[in-house]
Amino acid sequence: MIIQAKHLTRDFKIYKARSSFHMLNQILRRKGEIKRVVDGVDLEIQEGEFVGYLGPNDAGKSTTIKMLSGVLQPTLGEISVLGLNPSKDRKKYAQQIGVLYGQRTQLWWDLPLRDSFDLLKAIYNIPQTDFTKRLHRFIELLDMHEFINQPVRQLSLGQRMKGEMVAALIHNPRILFLDEPTIGLDVLAKDRIQEFLAYINKEEKVTVMLTSHNMDDVERLCKRIILIDQGKVKFDGAKDALRDLVKQSKLLILEVAAGDMKLNHPLPYAPIKEEGNRLFFEVADDAEVSQIIAASAQSYSILKVDIEEPKIDSVLKELYLSKNYQAAPRRMVIEPINP
């Protein structure tokens, strides 16, 4: 087990006064209310996993990541990451983890991007040959040649995020914590960064824990989802098991021989649409899939069968709105990422 947290809990004092004068008064008199933002979270993450830590706004995701990365101390509970206590063994811990907060920078604003990496080399004490090899590989993978010598303040958001990614990984950490790494990026930059993350997880075996509202990231990268709401874990399991929590239809797509479409055979099941020689059906379960395929095969030569699962964002939308997590398993057997 590479990451373990038991009953992880964090309280904040919040001040709810209507005017700044009253707020100051509350602060001086220490009269804020206690809000439990993370409430008894248990986590067990194995080496090599790529875990999506998801939940609506205000669920407590960033606060959890901050506790796991050693920035915040828990109010209650225990954390062991790589056998270390993040808030106690800070120096040793920092060598082993990488952190990326999409809304903050860890680069030196006025220096050329390359200089930030040189500074990190000195901070982490990275041997020159490892550093050079690693930096070259990252520059290639993220296509950073054009802007590596530009001051960070002049970089576009997409360029800077690539720089942040390298800064988080240059010291070869075993774990990477990501908080909204693709926020505000265009489709190309997002794609490049997702590809890069898949690479470092698969090839370098870096364990990744990601929070993101960008469901593209989740669909593409995460096999396991941990879902929290109001500070509590509501689901922990495979992404496909999360889809099963809501009764949303799948889409069955049958591609049939082009000539057959012209015959316009009556079907016992009505497709929801037809596109060229493709027929689209909404299906509730596997039994219905078999029935429709069998019935269609009577009239058409079926060339190809595709099934589209419900999209994770529509699954999450339904769960966040209904708050109906009762059927959700808390923990499941997790498949290894790279069997």
Ligand X SMILES: Nc1ncnc2c1ncn2[C@@H]1O[C@H](COP(=O)(O)OP(=O)(O)OP(=O)(O)O)[C@@H](O)[C@H]1O
In the bound complex, what is the minimum distance in angstroms from residue 307's beta carbon to ligand X?
31
Indicate whether 59 belongs to the interface with ligand X (CB under 6 A): yes
**Does 33 participate in binding ligand X (rule CB under 6 A)?**
no
Please report whether residue 55 would count as binding ligand X according to CB under 6 A: yes
Alpha-carbon gap, residue 205 to 218, rounded angstroms: 18
DSSP notation for 266-292: --SS--SEEETTEEEEEESSHHHHHHH
Contact with ligand X (CB under 6 A): which of 4, 6, 12, 269?
12
Q: Which residue, 37 or 126, has its beta carbon nearer to ligand X? A: 37
Kindly indicate which of the ranges 41-49, 55-63, 257-265, 273-281 contains the residues binding ligand X, using the contact rule CB under 6 A.
55-63
Q: Please report how close the Cβ of residue 213 comes to ligand X at its closest, in angstroms.
A: 6
Residue 27 binds ligand X (CB under 6 A):
no
Q: In this structure, what token pair is assigned to residue 18?
A: 């209507």
What's the closest the beta carbon of residue 157 comes to ligand X, in angstroms? 18
Dihedral class, residue 295 (left if φ above 0, else alpha if ψ from -120 to 50, else beta) = alpha
**Cα separation, 109 vs 26, whole angstroms:** 36
103 binds ligand X (CB under 6 A): no
First to last CA, the chain: 17
Binding segment for ligand X (CB under 6 A), chosen from 61-69, 149-157, 235-243, 307-315, is 61-69
The amino acid that residue 186 corresponds to is D
**Residue 286 within binding range of ligand X, rule CB under 6 A:** no
Contact 290, 284 (CB under 8 A): no
Question: Judged by CB under 6 A, how many residues of this single chain contact ligand X?
Answer: 11
Q: Are 212 and 306 in contact (CB under 8 A)?
A: no
Considering the rule CB under 6 A, would residue 41 count as an interface residue with ligand X?
no
Which chain residues interact with ligand X by CB under 6 A? 12, 14, 37, 55, 57-63
